[in-house]
Amino acid sequence: MSSRSDEWDGMVARRNNKMNQKTSNRQKKPERETKKRENPLSFSSPPDLDGWLVIGTIVAPQGLHGEVRVYSDSDFPERFQTPGKRWLLRAGESEPQAVELLQGRYLEGKNLYIIRLAGVENRNQAEELRGCKLLVPESDRPQLAEDEYHILDLIGLSVITQETQQELGEVVDVVFAGNNELLEVKLHCQPQQAQKTVLIPFVKAIVPVVDLETGRVEITPPEGLLEINN
């Protein structure tokens, strides 16, 4: 299975019963958009985050009393609203430091949370945290509902056609398109052929089997689906 160097927290793919036409109100995360988010606060050479999940980035102070704005990389509001231990990774450092989250609230429409951390009492202290990453241990994963999957668990799964049991490739990403999720699949290439990817709607009619234990998904693609990106 493939691995990712930037382990984002709790990104959830929902396998729908059918393709949805309406636009979703659920927050979509920037690293899953088709256009890469340009972030001048990103670390020039990312540290090894094995065992950790990035839940957000502190982007600015909020007010005069030590609160900070956090850009969310998580589908779970409790990461920023439920008090308790979090971890802070500063630029240039490789070891996260434990920090206590005291309170937090969502800033409507901006994918931002306003949070207060223990020991941060004024704007100057808050300014020093600009660009820091907020982390949680990878083992700290919220429980999901039926037909919901952590994206990190989907990436790297083998893709098998159900009818022929032929292995076509592997899942390399999940793309959000309106109210639908699409599995981005890198197809196994034949000699002398360029490698390519296709997008598979993540719906039960097309992806009837998701087996995390055996590391595979089975698909029943409609005619022409695998050639649509040719």
Q: Is the pLDDT of residue 69 over 90?
A: yes
Q: Which two tokens stand for residue 221?
A: 């693609």
The domain 148-222 is placed in CATH, from the list 2.60.120.680, 2.30.30.240, 3.40.50.300, 2.30.30.100, at 2.30.30.240
Q: What is the pLDDT of residue 2?
A: 36
Q: Is the pLDDT of residue 21 over 70?
A: no
Q: Which CATH superfamily is domain 52-137 in?
A: RimM (2.40.30.60)
Mean pLDDT within 62-77:
94
Q: pLDDT class for 141, splitting at 50, 70, 90?
A: confident
Domain(s) of CATH 2.30.30.240: residues in the chain: 148-222
Q: Report the amino acid identity of residue 106.
A: Y
Mean pLDDT within 175-179:
83
Q: What is the pLDDT of residue 144?
A: 82
Mean pLDDT of the chain: 81
Q: Are 70 and 59 in contact (CB under 8 A)?
A: yes
Q: Are 79 and 136 in contact (CB under 8 A)?
A: yes
Interstrand relation of 52-62 and 67-72 (parallel, antiparallel or unpaired): antiparallel
Q: Report the amino acid identity of residue 89.
A: L
Tell me whether residue 84 is exposed, middle or buried, using C-beta atoms within 10 angstroms of its C-beta: 0 to 12, 13 to 18, 19 or more.
exposed
Q: What is the pLDDT of residue 190?
A: 61
Mean pLDDT within 157-163:
95
Q: What is the pLDDT of residue 92?
A: 87
Q: What is the pLDDT of residue 35?
A: 23
Q: Which two tokens stand for residue 201?
A: 């709607």
Domain(s) of CATH 2.40.30.60: residues in the chain: 52-137
Higher pLDDT pick, 164 / 224: 164
Q: pTM for the complete prediction?
A: 0.63
Q: pLDDT class for 224, splitting at 50, 70, 90?
A: confident
Q: What is the pLDDT of residue 26?
A: 36
**Local structure of 27: helix, strand or coil:** coil
Q: Is the pLDDT of residue 33 over 60?
A: no
Q: What is the pLDDT of residue 32?
A: 29
Q: Are 178 and 119 in contact (CB under 8 A)?
A: no
Q: Are 20 and 180 in contact (CB under 8 A)?
A: yes
Q: Is the pLDDT of residue 161 over 70?
A: yes
Q: Are 154 and 14 in contact (CB under 8 A)?
A: no
Q: What is the pLDDT of residue 228?
A: 57
pLDDT tens sequence across 45-64: 445 677 898 999 999 999 99
